């Protein structure tokens, strides 16, 4: 392979540690239309701090409701942990550009360079810190692909907190070693649905072979947090607090690109609950909302769980057991159990309320859904030429990046493309092996199947 | 946890890409006593370039025999690949220092930040490059833990070379996903001993349950390379060419430490065949041999495979089938089959001839052997406070680092300790799970058992 030798921009740009952002960016302070408030699931009235405090750490509940502070300082203890694996590199994908023969300049923000293998650690360490500060004993959570559970176990291990992880059953079976790493950091893992909670027992009674879903695991984790003294529930995506913490991805990416006078024309991120996409576009969205720049944002979701591309913008529950507040979001219904796939991190029926509102208002420009076999084809090409084996979730963004870069080849446009490489696929080898052996299948729900999910969205007259 | 806030040295030091070394360091040019030559296994005469060329790529064979060039330029194509994952960070282990309460300043050179999960990629990409340059069709190799096999599959995938990997059978069974990642990069994997070679068939005939060893896998890989047109054999450790390529670890580490006027008092590396240790100490050994500095070098090996601590400095075969040249090295005998352990990367009966000579001459100061359960205890502490889950091999160096740092706590000495964090444990979760469940055992061969291995060292009168 011949490599472009005219490289004025390095392959990898590492900000210095003193260039690490010292505050998170809260996009709600800039949104043209604020997201609709979360609703109390019993009264259907907007949730208050008092409603949230039994479930969430107090400081995190405040962040959840904060619509006014544009920047929120990152605590020193969190910054110290960030310094162990951040700033994350911005990588110029020279070898991928060459392989595609595209005039596009492709960059990716790499978030997989830590043991959790993904960007999830950015929020996990913040949430664990606030729990510790509050004097809590432990936290509960759910995990799909296992990335969030791993990240949270690392964060809790660091701060000496107990940690109970409800892991979606089909993921737990696909990835036994995910459980191994979570337990190595001292956390406990329960495959969900389980018989340890009322919500879980109800699901198992209806279907003993239920493969689980994030929605169900959330119900279980919240139930336990509510019933265990000194415990709170924490969540790795969807919520505003998570978007806030993940803004560090976009803040770093923008700062690193600015060092070379680069600015993305297109920003591409995979989207499940929205934590990565919201984080990646954060600083660029700030520019867009201020009318300074106009990057084109693309959300990429799996065809098997198409909340943005085929869902409805409506109030819905975040969990299957209907314990959590309702959020106004793009959703395919909390009763929809997405087909088991190899991108467990994207198997959520809803979408971040912030991103949903931004999409509804046209600031998040576009959403595309892609098939599982397409994303593994893209992942293997990327792995071969760029060296890094991507997580299946991240490969959604790679697939659309390849599409856009190939389009640039046709048109000759020298577009600057930035995508989020959220994580590594080291715990997804069973998925790669299925793809390698040709046994992987795709799943696109029919309109009828999808309608069954959409029909579970409650009609609350809002 | 309270973190030291007086941090004039960053957590991580990344050299800039233009500070990446442009040449490898060849320690043989500086050795007081050159290593004894490799011997032709048929004639027992020193091997010539002509002897080596049927087995190795010509350029690599030349590097193997090069005793005079202190620095050998790194080809541009290799440098371009290095830029995708190098320079590797030098990390100040602030959190580990705090956890231990030690006045020592602990640094580690982290080589796990690439998909192969270890330093092995440094030599793999060089060897694949020279094979491609020579117009070869493919290469064969062996792999123990799977790190070298993964690295070579990545390198061959990048340059478009065929790659056949003989994987030690017990490792292949412990780590099915290692095989998955190797195949994802397009290489083929055969568990060894196998019935695909004469050497393998002989081993299986003697013991159908043979768990395999690096020595046997080498015999198989060499046999196939010799019998397949357009193929050569490549190796991930032991040989001089590998020490040469891995010198980049030490060159970078020294340059990164120099930025903060730091120099190690103690340098600690795990040692199997010696590729990591040789690489890590390279630039510091240059200073030591020149009389400029006197760092204390410690090699750490597993108690189950103690070539430096309990072996003999003698001519021995590098493989079990006695196809390869003989090397003058510390060895416990090519007939010794090390007990199956979770540190497959250290299960080799011999030691790099260069390191063996340096150890024999007292320039490599010290060797220690440690037990398997000790290294996992150290690994878990490290993972919790420093975030990175280490490879079991790397954990050997961590264990001795903890010992030294604790000794500094007792004496009050502010020693500067550098160790090599060669790789990540993401594919070693079955080992961690065994440790977590309390089922892991230790193995220290008795003198009688060891004697059986030592008795297989040939007496060639040299």
Chain B nearest-CA distance from A113, in A, is 6
Nearest Cα neighbor of A355 from A282, A248, A305 is A282
Tell me whether residue B195 is exposed, middle or buried, using C-beta atoms within 10 angstroms of its C-beta: 0 to 12, 13 to 18, 19 or more: exposed
* Chain A residues with beta carbon closer than 8 angstroms to that of B94: 80
Subunit contact A180:B389, Cβ cutoff 8 A = no
pLDDT tens per residue, range A157-209: 999 999 999 999 988 888 888 999 999 999 999 999 999 999 999 999 999 99
> Rounded to whole angstroms, what are the CA distances from B362 to A225, B31, B32, B403?
60, 12, 11, 22
With 90 as the cut, is the pLDDT of residue B7 above it? Answer: no
Give the number of other CB atoms < 10 A from CB of residue A446.
8
Q: Is B194 strand, coil or helix? A: coil
Question: pLDDT at position A174, please?
Answer: 80
pLDDT tens per residue, range B355-404: 999 999 999 999 999 999 999 999 999 999 999 999 999 999 999 999 99
Nearest Cα neighbor of A32 from A296, A361, A297 is A361
* Chain A residues with beta carbon closer than 8 angstroms to that of B180: 429-430, 432-433, 436
With 80 as the cut, is the pLDDT of residue B43 above it? Answer: yes
* Chain B residues with beta carbon closer than 8 angstroms to that of A5: 76
For B239, what's the count of Cα atoms within 13 Å in the CB-facing half-sphere? 23
* Residue from the list B1, B176, B389 with its beta carbon closest to the beta carbon of A181: B389
* Chain A residues with beta carbon closer than 8 angstroms to that of B16: 10
Kindly state the tokens that stand for B46.
């020193």
Among chain A residues, the shortest Cα distance to B377 is held by A184
pLDDT tens per residue, range B225-237: 999 999 999 999 9
* Chain A residues with beta carbon closer than 8 angstroms to that of B181: 389, 426, 429, 432
Subunit contact B160:A1, Cβ cutoff 8 A = yes
pLDDT tens per residue, range B259-283: 999 999 999 999 999 999 999 999 9
With 90 as the cut, is the pLDDT of residue B125 above it? Answer: yes
Q: What's the mean per-residue pLDDT of chain A? A: 95
Question: pLDDT at position A354, please?
Answer: 98
Question: pLDDT at position B378, please?
Answer: 98
∠ Cα B163 B324 B117 (to 5°) = 40
CA distance A171 to A149: 12
Which residue shows structure tokens 């929809």? Answer: A336
- Taking a C-beta distance cutoff of 8 angstroms, is the pair B335, B453 a contact? yes
Question: pLDDT at position B342, please?
Answer: 84
Kindly state the tokens that stand for A104.
């596009």
Share of chain A above pLDDT 90, in %: 89
Strand (E) or helix (H) holding B308? helix B307-310
- CA torsion B168→B169→B173→B179, rounded to 10°? 50
Tell me whether residue B292 is exposed, middle or buried, using C-beta atoms within 10 angstroms of its C-beta: 0 to 12, 13 to 18, 19 or more: exposed
Subunit contact B432:A184, Cβ cutoff 8 A = yes
Among chain B residues, the shortest Cα distance to A423 is held by B115
* Residue from the list A3, A16, A83 with its beta carbon closest to the beta carbon of B80: A3
With 90 as the cut, is the pLDDT of residue B421 above it? Answer: yes
- Taking a C-beta distance cutoff of 8 angstroms, is the pair A239, A190 a contact? no
Tell me whether residue A455 is exposed, middle or buried, using C-beta atoms within 10 angstroms of its C-beta: 0 to 12, 13 to 18, 19 or more: exposed
CA distance B53 to B56: 5
CA distance A145 to A187: 16
Q: Is B182 strand, coil or helix? A: helix
Q: What is the DSSP letter of B340?
A: P
Strand (E) or helix (H) holding B210? none
The whole-number average pLDDT for the span B114-135 is 97
For A251, what's the count of Cα atoms within 13 Å in the CB-facing half-sphere? 21
∠ Cα A307 A309 A313 (to 5°) = 60
The whole-number average pLDDT for the span B43-72 is 96
The distance of Cα A56 from the centroid of its chain, to the nearest Å, equals 19
With 70 as the cut, is the pLDDT of residue A1 above it? Answer: no
Kindly state the tokens that stand for A191.
């495959």
* Residue from the list A184, A380, A429 with its beta carbon closest to the beta carbon of B380: A184
The whole-number average pLDDT for the span A396-408 is 98
Subunit contact A158:B387, Cβ cutoff 8 A = yes
* Chain B residues with beta carbon closer than 8 angstroms to that of A389: 115, 181, 184
> Rounded to whole angstroms, what are the CA distances from B437 to B305, B344, B396, B429?
24, 20, 20, 12
Question: pLDDT at position A331, please?
Answer: 97
> Rounded to whole angstroms, what are the CA distances from B385 to A113, A154, A159, A341, B292?
16, 9, 9, 34, 35
β-strand partners of B421: B110
Share of chain B above pLDDT 90, in %: 89
Chain A nearest-CA distance from B382, in A, is 11
The distance of Cα B194 from the centroid of its chain, to the nearest Å, equals 24
SS3 for A217-283 is HHHHHHHHHHHCCCEEECCCCCCHHHHHHHHHHHHHHHHHHHCCCCCCCEEEEECCCCHHHHHHHHH
Subunit contact B10:A3, Cβ cutoff 8 A = no
Kindly state the tokens that stand for B236.
């991930």
- Taking a C-beta distance cutoff of 8 angstroms, is the pair B405, B100 a contact? yes
Nearest Cα neighbor of B177 from A436, A442, A341, A440 is A436
> Which is it for strands B266-270 and B296-302: parallel, antiparallel or unpaired?
parallel
With bands split at pLDDT 50, 70 and 90, how would you rate the model's confidence at A145?
A: confident
Residue B428 or B139, more confident:
B139
CA distance B3 to A450: 51
With bands split at pLDDT 50, 70 and 90, how would you rate the model's confidence at B339?
A: confident
Among chain A residues, the shortest Cα distance to B79 is held by A3
Instruction: Tell me the backbone φ, ψ of residue A170, rounded to 5 degrees.
Output: -65, -35
* Chain B residues with beta carbon closer than 8 angstroms to that of A10: 16-18, 83
Among chain A residues, the shortest Cα distance to B161 is held by A1
Chain A nearest-CA distance from B65, in A, is 29
Subunit contact B81:A10, Cβ cutoff 8 A = no
> Rounded to whole angstroms, what are the CA distances from B452 to A75, B25, B234?
60, 38, 29
With bands split at pLDDT 50, 70 and 90, how would you rate the model's confidence at B129?
A: very high
With bands split at pLDDT 50, 70 and 90, how would you rate the model's confidence at B6?
A: low
Strand (E) or helix (H) holding B254? helix B240-258
- Taking a C-beta distance cutoff of 8 angstroms, is the pair B219, B325 a contact? no
With 60 as the cut, is the pLDDT of residue A352 above it? Answer: yes
The whole-number average pLDDT for the span B434-456 is 95
CA distance B16 to A409: 31
Q: What is the DSSP letter of B93?
A: -
Q: Is B39 strand, coil or helix? A: strand
With bands split at pLDDT 50, 70 and 90, how would you rate the model's confidence at A3?
A: very low
Question: pLDDT at position A127, please?
Answer: 98
With 50 as the cut, is the pLDDT of residue B144 above it? Answer: yes
């Amino acid at each position: 392979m011949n490599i472009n030798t005219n490289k004025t921009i390095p392959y990898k740009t590492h900000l210095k540690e003193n260039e690490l952002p010292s505050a998170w960016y809260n996009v709600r302070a800039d949104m043209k239309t604020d997201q609709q408030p979360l609703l109390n699931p019993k009264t259907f009235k907007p949730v208050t701090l008092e409603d949230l405090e039994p479930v969430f750490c107090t400081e995190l509940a405040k962040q959840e409701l904060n619509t006014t502070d544009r920047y929120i300082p990152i605590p020193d203890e969190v910054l110290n942990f960030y310094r162990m694996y951040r700033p994350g590199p911005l990588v110029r994908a020279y070898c991928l550009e060459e392989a595609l023969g595209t005039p596009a300049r492709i960059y990716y923000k790499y978030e997989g360079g830590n043991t959790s293998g993904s960007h999830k650690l950015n929020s996990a360490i913040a949430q664990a810190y606030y729990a510790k500060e509050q004097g809590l004993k432990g936290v509960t959570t759910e995990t799909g692909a296992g990335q969030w559970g791993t990240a949270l176990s690392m964060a809790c291990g660091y701060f000496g907190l107990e940690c109970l992880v409800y892991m979606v059953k089909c993921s737990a079976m696909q990835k036994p070693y995910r459980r191994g790493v979570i337990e190595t950091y001292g956390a406990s893992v329960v495959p969900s649905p389980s018989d340890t909670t009322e919500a879980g027992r109800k699901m198992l009674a209806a279907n003993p072979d239920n493969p689980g879903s994030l929605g169900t695991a959330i119900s279980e984790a919240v139930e336990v947090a509510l019933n265990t003294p000194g415990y709170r529930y924490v969540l790795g995506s969807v919520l505003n607090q998570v978007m806030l913490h993940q803004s560090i991805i976009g803040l770093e990416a923008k700062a690193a690109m600015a060092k070379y006078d680069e600015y993305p024309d297109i920003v591409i991120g995979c989207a499940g609950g929205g934590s990565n996409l919201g984080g990646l576009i954060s600083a660029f969205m700030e520019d867009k909302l201020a009318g300074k720049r106009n990057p084109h944002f693309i959300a990429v979701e799996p065809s098997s769980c198409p909340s943005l591309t085929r869902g409805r913008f409506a109030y819905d529950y975040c969990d299957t057991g209907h314990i959590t507040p309702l959020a106004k979001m793009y959703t395919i219904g909390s009763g929809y159990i997405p087909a088991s796939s190899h991108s467990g991190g994207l198997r959520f029926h809803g979408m971040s309320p912030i991103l949903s509102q931004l999409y509804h208002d046209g600031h998040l420009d576009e959403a595309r859904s892609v098939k599982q076999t397409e994303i593994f084809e893209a992942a293997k090409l990327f792995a071969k030429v760029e060296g890094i084996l991507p997580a299946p979730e991240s490969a959604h963004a790679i697939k659309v990046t390849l599409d856009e870069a190939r389009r640039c080849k046709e048109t000759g446009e020298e577009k600057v493309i930035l995508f989020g490489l959220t994580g590594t696929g080291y715990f997804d080898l069973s998925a790669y092996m299925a793809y390698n052996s040709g046994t992987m299948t795709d799943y696109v729900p029919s309109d009828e199947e999808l309608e069954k999910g959409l029909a579970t969205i409650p009609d609350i007259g809002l």
